[in-house]
Structure 1
Amino acid sequence: MKGFDRPLKPEWVYEMIQRLEVGDKLSEHKEELDEVLKELTGKTGKRKVRTVIGRYFLKDLDKPRQRSVQDSLIFRLIKEQQLDEVKPVMLFNLLVKAPILQYFSEQLFNLYERQQEINAAFLRKKAYQRIGERDIARRSLRNFLSTLTDFGILQQQDRKIFIWNKRLIVNEENFINFLKLYSKFYLKSPQISLNDLPEYLLFYFDLPNVREIAQKYNNVHWDYTRRLQAAIVTLY
């Protein structure tokens, strides 16, 4: 399981993408992108942040050696929207693309969704058992909790304790984009069962009424099929 190598601030992702265009060679923009990371002092730290942002926001997920910015839904959304509006989609994009973040999210949901305090030390022990490699588990969990803090979802109380702060509000347009990202990167299928949406990926967000959205945009973004025990959208 690939680790999550650095915490990401939404401001970093947003500002970098504002400075880039599709087709730009990333090697030609290192200095410009490092200006966004001026609060980081070391060259290695900046390089690793650029690598993580490149992996999840600038390149095709299955082609990490690409050297230029690729056209994608998430890139266009970040270019076109204001930071506060697109922030929920930025986080969801990470969740559907990174299996290790899906694992951590499932643990957070199962263990702490109904509690105020999150014990990072206990989560770390659980991660050791699942992932096996101590350094990857420790570092990736720390980076993910820091990322959730920078997105405003958590607040850090001390080295071991985090508390829930708020959910990110998702508007109709961005929920449509949630489904598109979920379909492509998580399900790898155009057909989505609304009854089976994974709560552990969505409990960070304040969502609109899912079935109302499905009905409203039927024959626009998808075909919506309702049966007695099923609600299915098939994306175009």
Structure 2
Amino acid sequence: MIVGLDRSFKPKWVYKMLQLAKPDLEYKKVEPQFLDLIEYSGSKSKINVLTVIRRYYLQIVKKDRKEYFGDNYLHNLSLNYSYNSLKPVLLFVLISECPIAQFLQSKINLLFIDQEFVESEVLHKHAKKIYGDRKVVTYAVGYYLTILSYFDILEKHKNSYSWKNRQLKVPDHILKEMLILYSHINDRYEIDVLRISDDVAFSLFDLSNLENVLMEYNGKEWAYQKRLNTKKVIITNKYKRT
């Protein structure tokens, strides 16, 4: 089973790469700049990071045996929002797109949400049951916890991790973008609002302003429908993923 998390990365690297990832630009022309952005000394580590970022954040299309950047909603967001504004969105995308990140976050939510520390050894045991007793699985657990520290969720100590923020508060306009991305990622333009809070991808975010956001952008980005026992959003911002 493919693990899909080959190295930890900093969200700042992703943000800067997204800004450079102009649609129809040949990937090879900016690959050296991408590698320079990655603050690791070893070439293998740099390549592993780039593999992860390509997999979950960049839209790459092949044409005439060459690779080009495709249309990418995240590229547009990187040009319109500051790094600090887009940072929580990048975390949301990782958990949405990366299966082992979803798995590990679900275990963290189940086992450690009320604890002071997140125990990596416990996560290793659970991950190995699903992904196998391999070094790459052990590494992936460490990479994910480190990534959470870069996103200000955990605080990394020498041999442990403690909570820094169990949930991040995001402003209305950023939660709006997350909902649009949620629709695109899942290729589902009708969203059951009652299920959003149960989705692991939203679990690290304070959704207390969700109803306000749904009403604020009703008729602009989506149609919000409320009935007796159901609430749903029909996304009208149907930005197509490549």
Is the pair's TM-score, using the shorter chain for normalization, greater than 0.5? yes
Using the alignment, how far apart are the partners of 2:189 and 2:22 within structure 1? 28
Gaps of 5+ in 1: none
2:22–2:75 CA contact under 8 A, matched in 1? no
1:223 aligned onto 2:223? yes
- Give the SS at the match of 1:71: coil
Using the alignment, how far apart are the partners of 1:226 and 1:178 within structure 2? 20
Q: Kindly, what percent of the aligned residue pairs are identical?
A: 27
**Residue in structure 2 matched with residue 33 of structure 1 by the alignment:** 34
1:74–1:93 CA contact under 8 A, matched in 2? no
**Residue in structure 1 matched with residue 239 of structure 2 by the alignment:** none
**Residue in structure 2 matched with residue 192 of structure 1 by the alignment:** 191
1:15 aligned onto 2:16? yes
**Residue in structure 2 matched with residue 96 of structure 1 by the alignment:** 96
Deviations 1:136-176 (A, max 9, x none): 321221111111111111101232x2111023331111111
- Give the SS at the match of 1:114: coil
**Residue in structure 1 matched with residue 52 of structure 2 by the alignment:** 52
- Of residues 15-24 and 135-144 in structure 1, the stretch that sits farther from structure 2 once superposed is 15-24
Deviations 1:3-48 (A, max 9, x none): 21111201111222333422222222232222212x3111111112
1:57–1:75 CA contact under 8 A, matched in 2? no
**Residue in structure 1 matched with residue 240 of structure 2 by the alignment:** none
Which stretches of structure 1, 4 residues or longer, exceed 3 Å deviation after superposition? none
Deviations 1:38-76 (A, max 9, x none): x31111111121121122222259xxx972222211121
Letter matched to residue 116 of structure 1 = E
- Give the SS at the match of 1:68: strand
Using the alignment, how far apart are the partners of 1:67 and 1:58 within structure 2? 12
Deviations 1:179-219 (A, max 9, x none): 12212223x31111111112532232233521221122222
Using the alignment, how far apart are the partners of 2:139 and 2:133 within structure 1? 10
Q: TM-score, normalised by structure 1?
A: 0.89
| Correspondences of 1:67-106 after superposition (within 5 Å) | 67-106=67-106
Using the alignment, how far apart are the partners of 1:191 and 1:222 within structure 2? 9
- Give the SS at the match of 1:67: strand
2:19–2:75 CA contact under 8 A, matched in 1? no
Q: TM-score, normalised by structure 2?
A: 0.87
**Residue in structure 2 matched with residue 158 of structure 1 by the alignment:** 158
- Of residues 130-139 and 209-218 in structure 1, the stretch that sits farther from structure 2 once superposed is 130-139
Instruction: Assess, with a 3 A threshold, how the Cα gap between structure 1 residues 143 and 201 changes in structure 2: closer, same or farther.
Output: same
Using the alignment, how far apart are the partners of 1:66 and 1:89 within structure 2? 29
- Give the SS at the match of 1:124: helix
- Give the SS at the match of 2:68: coil
Aligned residues: 232
